[in-house]
Structure 1
């Protein structure tokens, strides 16, 4: 459960609502755990207050953090995606090495199917909108190397050539498809909030996805 507020005062009011319904929540087998709850203050224009009034839950002050994993996606107070890109790069490395070890004697067709299933599904990658070129290049290189290792190709062979020969999407094609799919789903949604997001020309994520789909990355 996530509570969002533009001010500490507003967040405290939301927390007070949670405390009011604690008895009802507890009677249904759930509890608000202050030890597992945290507070994150997002930066505004690169600035963040040095001191923030405490936010309480059932008399316990919640810990303030600068990074938190929510639904598998790493959020940071500066709203940059470098940490989440590194999470996905590490996960890709683990999956690729596992495939290379267990399926080294399989045919190229089988290896291609495995690569599509385990290495092309970047979780929440279409939410990456603010990151460094270094982080983005690192996961691109990992993606290329994963394919080389699985297929037993030379380390410095042409990335575009090997994907074209295997009729496989390269890193950029994969990202374009994922971002294009997000924009299509948001614009086609019947949810009023998503419709509002899609209609905003200054929406960071939709604008970034459109740029990626057109072959231009905005960072």
Structure 2
């Protein structure tokens, strides 16, 4: 469970509500596994933070935490989550290359599409460095070459075109467009309001992925 609050006072009130609910319903929070994080707006860096207590136990402050498999960071950047996906992609590809080295090319391509094109939560990435993003793209291309035993410096666009496989940029566009459509089709008015704001960073990235320079 995650509590979101615009201020420390409001967060303390939310924690109090949780404690009251737990007592009423016979539940118990594990304060040792609970923690808090303060988002850092641009040009503002908080060095001190008030104490937050849960069941009388002080919560530890962290700079990042994983929620449903996605890394959320205090500086609101996505480099950590992109690196998570890059490492996971490397592990999956190495496994495929070892276990299915003697399979035919069509089988390898099918396995690659099934295991190396998910890019979990990539449609949420809006604030990252080009290096982090490029490292993931390079890892994707290298994974395909390693699995199919292609030359290291062969053309990425040519090898994907030859096997009718989506390249990195095409996958990013497809994932972002899919999420955009799902959010717009949602009955949740808050989600629709966020996606339809032209100053929304999420919408800005979606547009950027589909714009031609």
TM-score by structure 1 length?
A: 0.94
Match of 2:186 in 1: 189
Query: 5 Å matches for 1:31-180?
Result: 31-180=28-177
Q: Deviations over 1:91-141 (max 9, x none)?
A: 000000000111111111111111111000000011111111110110000
CA distance in 2, matches of 1:149, 1:215: 30
Rounded to whole Å, the distance in 1 between the matches of 2:97 and 2:54 is 48
Structure 2 segments unaligned to the other structure (5+ residues): none
Q: Alpha carbon RMSD of aligned pairs, Å?
A: 1.2
The answer on whether the counterparts of 1:148 and 1:154 sit within 8 Å (CA) in structure 2 is yes
Contact 1:180–1:210 (8 Å) recurs in 2: no
CA distance in 1, matches of 2:205, 2:43: 20
**Aligned: 1:3 with 2:22:** no
Counterpart CA distance in 1 for 2:8 and 2:171 is: 40
**SS of 1:21's equivalent?**
helix
Contact 1:55 / 1:61 at 8 angstroms: preserved in 2?
Answer: yes
Q: Contact 1:82/1:131 (CA < 8 Å) preserved in 2?
A: yes
How many residues end up aligned between the 2 structures? 213
- Determine the C-alpha separation between the residues in 1 that align with 2:3 and 2:20: 15
The separation in 1 between residues aligned to 2:79 and 2:178, in whole angstroms, is 22
Paired residue for 2:24?
Answer: 24
Contact persistence 1:46–1:78 (CA under 8 A): no
In the alignment, is residue 210 of structure 1 matched against residue 207 of structure 2?
A: yes
Q: Which consecutive unaligned segments of at least 5 residues does structure 1 have?
A: none
Structure-1 separation of matches of 2:87 and 2:110: 21
TM norm structure 2: 0.96
SS of residue in 2 equivalent to 1:75: strand
Q: CA deviation at 1:215?
A: 4.9
